[in-house]
Amino acid sequence: MAVAMLSIDVGSSQTRLALMDKARSWPRHLEPLGEKSILSVLYHEPPANRYGRAALTRPARNCGRVLRDFPRILLADSMGKTSQDKYSSYTLKVEGSRSSYLVGQDEVSMEEVLQEFLTAVLAEVPSLTDEELKGIILPVPDALTTEARETCARAAQKAIDACGFTRRSELNEVAVTLVPCSLGPAILFAAQQEEKENVAPFIILDLGGGKLTCAAYEVVAGKIRLLATKTCPSLGGVDIENKVMEWISSQLNFPFMDSATAKFKIRKAVGPAVRDLTVADMVEIESENIMGKDVSIELSKCQFMEITSDVAEQVVLHVKDLIGQIENFPDEGGRIILLGGSSRVPLIESSVERLWASASDEDVDNLEGRHESAVGKDQRKPGRILSVDKTLHRENSVSIGSGACF
């Protein structure tokens, strides 16, 4: 019997449904994004992009861009195009066990939205019977209190019951796991690897998005624990784009960096191009009518790595400091998951691998702690560094790094 785990991410910029299935027996209308990716189906509009294969189910068709944010999932079946603008802004309100969204003059409870959305999504997965569904990983906003998360978990359970997915035996009831919204992809991947390879624990290094905020989490048997945090408000994804734009200006001898309008236009072309370098060795950056000129230039992955090398070094230093805060680092054979945006992770992945691969014996002893006394250095099993693209919209969104000891 195939055992599946459903991960529904309702906290990110794109709402997605991810299905883990040992046998990979997918419903006809759901298609995995690629062998190297987390098995996921995107709900987004427009239905086609260069790397994702969309599966627009009933909620997505009816809501369109409303599904881009959790609060906008309100009224998944009834909201029309004319009322979407009403929900373009909202405020999260958390008081004890109650969490709700203030949308204009209206206040809508999060559990109400959650239950309605889960019911709609679960109804779209007919191949999941109550014997197959093992659990739901549900990312929620980080600001929720413990009581509010418990309330959301109960709402999720009600949706499961309403759809007939509850296990017949209490010993095998469907488990609902709530995690911070940004960690959904990594938690899903860790659970998949743990089940497939019997590997635990996992350390997730969350590199954040926008400005750099590093966090380390431990995942064991599906449970997550915050280990350490490290923040650098002056370093982020914008810095990477700025480096590329400065390089373009220098290569073309075109001083557009002095014009805010020109920078804005070129940044719109640079951002997607940088992300494309996660799957391509060469990209072309094009932008029309920049101060009366059309800009067109090729950027290779090697050039990109060279341009942003100083940014990468700073990120690696912060990651190293973060690791230094972690007590009882995982024993031999554990795994590290790098979680971050599609531009930042590839930029530092090789550097982080070298960080562990080139560690001195003393550093390794510090990382492995007291376990060294029980297992000789020559008997250590190699760890592995894995990276997960938060956006999960590319066929190689999960890349397996080369062996690195830690």
CATH code, domain with 156: 3.30.420
Q: What percent of the chain has pLDDT over 70?
A: 27
398 half-sphere exposure, CB direction, 13 A CA radius: 21
What interhelical angle do 344-357 and 237-252 show, nearest 10? 110
| Same domain, yes or no: 210 and 172 | no
Residue 397 confidence (pLDDT) above 70: no
Write down the residue that tokens 């299905």 correspond to. Answer: 19
The pLDDT score that the predictor gives to residue 334 is 53
The pLDDT score that the predictor gives to residue 1 is 34
pLDDT band at 168 (very low <50, low <70, confident <90, very high): very low
Please give the C-alpha separations between residue 5 and each of 177, 341, 350, 352, 399, in angstroms, as whole numbers.
Answer: 11, 24, 31, 30, 21
Mention every residue, 6+ apart, whose C-beta is less than 8 A from residue 276: 50, 283
Average pLDDT over residues 310-320: 75
Please give the C-alpha separations between residue 87 and each of 62, 115, 325, in angstroms, as whole numbers.
Answer: 15, 18, 41
**Which of 164, 198, 232 is at the close of a domain?**
198
Pairing relationship of beta strands 223-236 and 211-220 according to DSSP bridges: antiparallel
Average pLDDT over residues 141-152: 68
pLDDT band at 206 (very low <50, low <70, confident <90, very high): low
| Same domain, yes or no: 183 and 241 | no
The pLDDT score that the predictor gives to residue 176 is 66
Residues 231-280: tens digit of each pLDDT: 665 555 677 788 888 999 889 888 888 888 888 888 888 877 877 776 67
Residues 126-145: tens digit of each pLDDT: 444 444 455 565 656 655 66
**What is the CATH number for 401?**
3.90.640.10
Say whether pTM exceeds 0.75.
no
| Same domain, yes or no: 178 and 225 | no
| Same domain, yes or no: 321 and 296 | yes
| Same domain, yes or no: 105 and 243 | no
Q: Which domain holds residue 372?
A: 200-406
Q: What percent of the chain has pLDDT over 90?
A: 0
Nearest-angstrom CA–CA distance, 225 and 236? 25
What tokens were used for 293?
A: 């000129």
Task: Give how many domains the chain has, as a whole number.
Answer: 2
| Same domain, yes or no: 304 and 209 | yes
Average pLDDT over residues 74-87: 35
**Which of 154, 179, 198 is at the close of a domain?**
198
Nearest-angstrom CA–CA distance, 143 and 94? 8
Positive or negative, the CA dihedral 130, 132, 135, 138 is: negative
| Same domain, yes or no: 235 and 170 | no
| Same domain, yes or no: 162 and 258 | no
The pLDDT score that the predictor gives to residue 313 is 76
Please give the C-alpha separations between residue 131 and each of 6, 127, 164, 174, in angstroms, as whole numbers.
Answer: 13, 11, 11, 10
| Same domain, yes or no: 117 and 205 | no
Residue 68 confidence (pLDDT) above 80: no
| Same domain, yes or no: 62 and 209 | no
Residue 325 confidence (pLDDT) above 50: yes
Determine contact, residues 70/64, Cβ cutoff 8 Å: no
Residue 212 confidence (pLDDT) above 70: no
Report the residue count for the chain: 406
| Same domain, yes or no: 120 and 214 | no
pLDDT band at 281 (very low <50, low <70, confident <90, very high): confident
Nearest-angstrom CA–CA distance, 62 and 72? 12
Residues 193-204: tens digit of each pLDDT: 555 655 555 666
| Same domain, yes or no: 99 and 211 | no
